[in-house]
Structure 1
Amino acid sequence: MTRQIVSVVGGKDAASTGTYASINPARTSEIVAQVGLADAGTFADACRTAKDAQREWAKVPAPVRGRVIASIGRLVEANAESLARLVTREIGKPYAEALGEVREIVDTCDFFLGEGRRLYGQTVPSEMPDKNLFTFRNPVGVAAVITAGNFPVAVPSWYLVPALLCGNAVVWKPAEYAAASAHALYQIFVAAGLPDGVLDIVFADGAQTFEGLERALTEGTVQKIGFTGSSEVGSKIGELAGRHLQAPCLELGGKNPMVIMPDAELDLAVEGALFSGFGTAGQRCTSLGTVIVHESVHREFTERFARAVQQAEIGDPEQDVLAGPLLDQKFADRYEDYLTWIQPHHQVISGPVGRITADSPRRDFTGAGGLYYHPVVVDGVKASDRLFLEETFGPIVGVTTFASLDEAIELANLPGYGLSSSIYTTDPKHAFRFREGISAGMVSVNNSTSGAEAHLPFGGNGKSGNGSRQSGMWVLDQFTRWQSMNWDHSGRLQKAQMDVADISPDMGFRI
């Protein structure tokens, strides 16, 4: 059944100026949803509506807002399987992964339920008598949240849940190719008791979204931008926000390294590399980019890794597979361009390259009707190669070698991204030296580059982001502003730094 989806502003369906067909990438003849696309004016209107609604929402006590977040979590939990199956159908993510993504929303809600009672400020001692100092967290106002579709429900929850909990209103622009999943999540949020206008959902293409965001910033109806997507688009949003003296929350791409030390447990490292590189068909911001393997174990590791990749199940995401199809035709087109980066000095050790078809099957799987591609491992990658330096969103992993840990760290940092990283070692000294030297915001030891928990900070540096963090208590700094207050009850004007209390040379106290 094809869903009909439009934007919702202030609790009412908004007009559309165009349409988009969200396609099942596992069966491209199947339309999952017909999506009505809004224009820049609708986005700007949503921000005005949200600004009005936010004033009343902010007056709701934070513990009560927390109970709404708890209701969202329970509704997601009750509808977990159907929501996960919709995610699988719309973007081709294997069902087990889609169900894990839905559970991430529940974890996020469970954590932030408690934060409704822990939006702590501080009581600070004054340098003057009869004076008290306080700090408070205030909501920022309206947050414009723009998200990608590779995690169509989990990643948005990282923004929506804390933003709403803190007393903000949100205008959410999901990816068009994951519109049905996003709309289903929106309906759950509204059903939990959110007032009209506190959360609006707007479907629009990139150009209209950018124009609408620019209008809203000029009008002063947006006080925070959250963006998950490519580094290229993130830099443009960062520039736009900077012109309006705002600091956005940017979660961007990655070229995530995995270092394999000589003392690594190789079977475990192979398992981690397989999941990191090819889970979700390599379409995570935290997907493995390059394996940096010590020269002494290079041959043994690559032989095991190549064998594991060749044996991995790629196919129908409704089944028990490592990966399904690519998310959308535009990502398939882009991935085919990445394959042209393979050079004569490279060695493909994983088998066939390109789309899975009847002429190029994966054992008995022909990929008929879907955007399925062979997973690719390229050995012999050099530090000057595009395949080493640039993000490749899809099922392709490079392999290079190193002689010392210092060299491995230098190679890991060279591309200039800084999202996720991993090291396989049994020596704690290697693990801590790697942690100290790596520029990534997240480090795994003997684990994959992918995988986040709801109470740990998530985010990157360099080309991967502007240092902002999502998840856990750290994200509260994205959706609140610190306010200080001083209360003088001395009955006279006390001037800071001028009338400060002092201690005399004979230790006698004086004012």
Structure 2
Amino acid sequence: MAELNRGTAERPTVSRNPADLRDVVTEQVLSDADGLTAAARAAHRAQSAWAETPAPLRGRVAQNVGRLVAENKEALAALITREVGKPYGEALGEVQEVIDTCDFFLGEGRRLYGQTVPSEMPDKQLFTYRKPLGTAVIITAANFPAAVPAWYLVPALLCGNTVVWKPSESAMAVAEALFRLFRAGGVPEDVLRLVHADGETTYAGLERALTEGLVQKIGFTGSTAAGRRVSELAGRHLQSPCLELGGKNPLVVTDDADLELAVQGAVFSGFATAGQRCTSLGAVIAHRAVHDEFLTRFSAAVEDLVVGDPRRDEIFYGPLIGERYLENFRGSLELVRPHHTLSGSTATGRITSESPRKGFIGDPDAGVYAHPTVVAGVLPDDELYRTETFGPLVSVMAYDSFDEAVALANGHGYGLSAAIYTRSAGTAFSFRERCTAGMVSVNNSTVGAEAHLPFGGNGLSGNGSRQSGIWVLDQFTSWQSMNWDYAGTLQRAQMDVQDIDADLGFRLS
């Protein structure tokens, strides 16, 4: 359990319900750096025995975990809603993603395939094998406190690695619950260790563990700034981390788009989970011919969104994850400039009884709620165009030519997700080809993932690593080649190939 991984400098911290800050969801003692290093040391010792467990049996463990999560789906979703403020319907979808991930990797336990490769030499066979890396340290964020950890933990464990998991301090209760389900599903004690720690402690403990040779892989989901630090640390130890970072995800609306469908997609992309997804919509890029009509429809739809208590079925989005998330979002609002236009309601920032929102359900003063904000007139030179806002804010921009739309979709430097609304197949495929995002949707939102599809980004959104599906296996295994020579004499590969070529040419002539 988590308490086994605490260090000597124990200190408590609390996780509060963001819909009602009076409600303490859990109180945990945070580890010091020695605690994280000790957890890595224990996981490192356990790795060889876990790797010797046949991969199909490790797949059965993933199946067991998925079954237990399914049996506890409603309870886990309710805990997600309570701890991070995600509407209950969305929380159920997140838990289903954990189940889907476990289902997928049950099969991969029987498909950790290598290859038999033909040799250029006679009487020689070549083989390739996937090998586990060793011990992984996985650091996850609060906005998807169950699904994203599962994206890392399930394939890492399936491939024969051991894991030290450091969840967000804002989602410690969900982490404890998910950790117990993994343990109950058959994951041995030291094969998966849970450590609660703050960011600086995690960095210090990870640095020590890397120096001792205890960690062979880092997985990190979080901000681009923090990802840079993790990447630099990994690079000093000649490692390539798996990074899933921020996004400024564009949604292009062409002049032939179905505007009603585009509005629906933009609303969901921008304001689901209160805009706190790495794939949340950053900017709508609308053709000038339809810009004004789109903006009118979009603003009206945003005005009608119901905000409030995330336990209520009518709610579109609930609170931000916590007070520090609200403070960061307020910083994003400071990027609004005089040449911008607040479309629809002009109320911004925190929703309170003194700054109310029409149709709000619940007690606005009890939680951490924010007004949805639509900012029109954003230009490519604006800092708002280049900055991830991570909250309920969407920019709207205009374009004239397809080349300009592509430039705006790529120009902010992020490359996680993008969407285009068009009736033209040619336009859709051309956008896919020229867009730098790792994931592209056509006539669909910028958000959403499936367990068997690669997930990840480029540029400021990541280092090209991918999660989910068969592609994540390359993050948690290395390729080993083997050559078996049964000629009974030394064969010197390329040095002897010339002789073979000459002999072959002679015989063919």
TM-score bracket for this pair, using the shorter chain length: over 0.9
2:251 aligned residue: 258
1:384 matched to 2:378: no
- What is the 5 A alignment of 1:89-168? 89-168=82-161
Stretches of structure 1 that go unaligned for 5 or more consecutive residues are none
1:52 is paired with a residue whose SS is helix
Maintained 8 Å contact 1:6/1:36: no
- Structure 1 vs Structure 2 CA RMSD: 1.3
Q: What amino acid sits opposite 2:340 in the alignment?
A: H
Q: Is the 2:416–2:438 Cα contact (8 Å) retained in structure 1?
A: yes
**Residue number in structure 2 paired with 1:440:** 437
Aligned residue for 1:326? 320
Structure 2 distance, partners of 1:7, 1:204, is 12
Q: C-alpha distance in 2, partners of 1:259/1:32?
A: 40
**2:356 match:** 361
How far is 1:16 from its partner? 6.2
- Determine the structure 2 residue equivalent to 1:188: 181
Look up the match of 2:234: 241
Equivalent in 404, 407, 410 of residue 410 of structure 1: 407
Deviation, structure 1 residue 506: 7.7
Kindly report which structure 2 residues correspond to 1:487-498, keeping only aligned pairs within 5 A, or say none. 487-498=484-495
Structure 2 residue aligned with 1:304: 297
The match for 1:422 is 419
| One-letter code aligned to 1:72 | V
Q: Deviations over 1:394-434 (max 9, x none)?
A: 00000010001110000111110000000000100110111
Deviation for aligned residue 1:7: 3.8
Distance 2:155 2:344 in 1: 42
Contact 1:7 1:15 in 2 (8 A): no
Within 2, Cα distance between the matches of 1:105 and 1:474? 17
**CA deviation digits over 1:160-202, x for unaligned, max 9?**
0000000000000000110000110000000011112000000
Could you tell me how far 1:8 is from its partner in structure 2?
Answer: 4.0
Instruction: Provide the rounded CA distance (Å) in 1 between the counterparts of 2:282 and 2:26.
Output: 32
Equivalent position of 1:338 in the other structure: 332
Which of 210, 219, 230 is residue 217 of structure 1 equivalent to?
210
Deviates more, 1:13-22 or 1:475-484: 13-22
Matched with 2:465 is 468
Whichever residue aligns with residue 356 of structure 1, its letter is I
3-state secondary structure, aligned to 1:377 = strand
> Secondary structure of 1:28's match?
strand
**The residue matched to 1:499 in structure 2 has which SS?**
helix
* Conserved 8 A contact 1:53-1:196: no
CA distance in 2, matches of 1:430, 1:441: 18
Match runs of 1:64-79 below 5 Å: 64-79=57-72
Aligned to 1:277: 270
Q: Distance in 2 between matches of 1:122 and 1:16?
A: 49
8 Å Cα contact 2:33-2:201 kept in structure 1: yes
CA distance in 2, matches of 1:503, 1:134: 24
Name the CA distance, whole Å, in 1 between partners of 2:267 and 2:309. Answer: 18
Is the Cα contact below 8 Å between 1:43 and 1:213 reproduced in 2?
yes
Q: Which amino acid aligns with 1:242?
A: G
Among 491, 496, 499, which residue is 1:499 paired with?
A: 496
CA contact (8 A) 2:8 2:34 kept: no
Change (3 A) 1:84 1:8: farther
Deviation, 1:504, is 3.6
Mapped partners of 1:250, 1:463: distance in 2: 10
TM-score (norm 2): 0.97
Cα distance in 1 for residues equivalent to 2:228 and 2:112 = 31
Q: CA deviation at 1:503?
A: 3.5
**Could you tell which deviates more after superposition, 421-430 or 341-350?**
341-350
Match of 2:392 among 395, 403, 407: 395
Q: For the Cα contact (< 8 Å) 1:229–1:252, is it kept in 2?
A: yes
SS in 2 for 1:145: strand
Amino acid at match of 1:461: N
Per the TM alignment, residue 61 of structure 1 is displaced from its structure 2 partner at its CA by 0.3
How big is the shift at 1:508? 3.5
2:369 alignment partner in structure 1: 372
| Matched residue type, 2:332 | Y
Shift of 1:380: 0.3
Is contact 1:174–1:203 with CA below 8 Å preserved after alignment?
yes
Q: Give the distance between the partners of 1:79 and 1:301, measured in 2 at CA.
A: 42
Aligned CA distance change for structure 1 residues 225 and 506 (closer, same or farther; 3 Å): closer
**Aligned equivalents of 1:152, 1:16: Cα separation in 2:** 26
Asked if 1 retains the 8 angstrom alpha-carbon contact of 2:114 and 2:127, the reply is: yes
User: By how many angstroms is 1:368 displaced?
Assistant: 2.6
Query: Which deviates further from its counterpart, 249-258 or 341-350?
Result: 341-350
Give TM-score, length-normalised by structure 1: 0.97
How far residue 25 of structure 1 moved from its aligned partner, in angstroms, is 0.2
Render the CA deviation track for 1:33-79: whole Å, top value 9, x for unaligned: 00110000010011110011111000000001000000000000000
CA contact (8 A) 1:7 1:14 kept: no
Contact 2:2 2:193 (8 Å CA) reproduced: no
Q: Give the distance between the partners of 2:507 and 2:68, measured in 1 at CA.
A: 61
Shift, 1:505, TM fit: 7.8
Cα pair 1:362 1:374 within 8 Å, conserved? yes
Whichever residue aligns with residue 386 of structure 2, its letter is L
Partner of 1:313: 306
1:194 and 1:8 map into 2 onto residues whose CA distance is: 16
Letter in 2 for 1:346: H
Deviation at 1:360, TM superposition (A): 1.9
Contact kept, 8 Å, 1:6 with 1:16, in 2: the verdict is: no
Gap regions ≥5 residues in structure 2: none
Matches within 5 A, 1:34-73: 34-73=27-66
